[in-house]
Amino acid sequence: MFLWHKITFVGDSVVLLPAGLVILAWLAAGHAWRLALLWSALFASGLVVVLATKIAFIGWGIGIESLDFTGVSGHAMRASAIFPVIAWLFLQRSSGSARNLGILVGVGLGLLVTVSRVVLHYHSVSEAVSGWMLGSVVALLFIRVGQGLAKPQLNRWLIALAMLGLLPTSYAEPAPTSQWMNTVALYLSGHDRPYVRSPAGFVQAQLPPERGPRHRVAGMRPQTHPIWVERLLRQ
């Protein structure tokens, strides 16, 4: 399990959002302005879809119970979007077969992060697979359209050094994105309790012990929640 935790952390916002910005910086430094704009638009769109689906569930209970779907996996989306693009950029001066192999390896790494989310019970299969599919669409669409645009003129070793510069993020604490989304979702919906999974389906979390009967919120996937939800989970 320790290895799966390490793998899943690779997809965390604290690691891959900086990596996404590094890609943008490479493209801008190489004067590939159209590619930079394309990457910004596609990657931002993927992030918006992830946020929208999760906020819709937390705030309003919008999901698909039959598929146990409460929102697209952000870890899977980010990993499957970024790794193939990094490989494609790094192998620009290599043969076409080498680039294709690098892209496949990148897609595979994204799939590995996706599997880790299911193995560790952070997401259902539908949530993880939808994240992998969304991220893969972002990456492959970028690569497909980017083949017809001017490429950045960058030294591949500078790219490698830039990626090494991201290594310190692997020692950082995971970003509390779930807590932030809970706060935003409750503010937008006007509700005082988030929607959660339970044996009865998708329901609003019960009131904390200080304000209502003691109740343990069952069926929830491990993630960061507001303090009062954490108290419920510990009952």
Read off the pLDDT of residues 76-96 as tens digits, 9 standing for 90 and up. 999 999 999 999 988 888 898
Read off the pLDDT of residues 12-32 as tens digits, 9 standing for 90 and up. 888 899 899 989 988 888 889
pLDDT at 151: 76
The DSSP element (H or E) to which 195 belongs, if any, is strand 195-198
**CA gap 22, 43 in Å, rounded:** 13
pLDDT band at 217 (very low <50, low <70, confident <90, very high): very low
**CA gap 136, 57 in Å, rounded:** 23
Q: Mean pLDDT score of the chain, rounded to an integer? A: 84
Please name which of 174, 139, 177, 138 lies closest in space to residue 54, comparing C-alpha atoms: 177
Task: For CA atoms 155, 159, 161, 162, give the dihedral sign.
Answer: positive
Tokens of 192: 């005082």
Residue scoring higher pLDDT (130 or 181)? 130
Say if residue 223's pLDDT is above 60: no
Task: For CA atoms 20, 21, 22, 28, give the dihedral sign.
Answer: positive
Say if residue 154's pLDDT is above 90: no
pLDDT at 170: 55
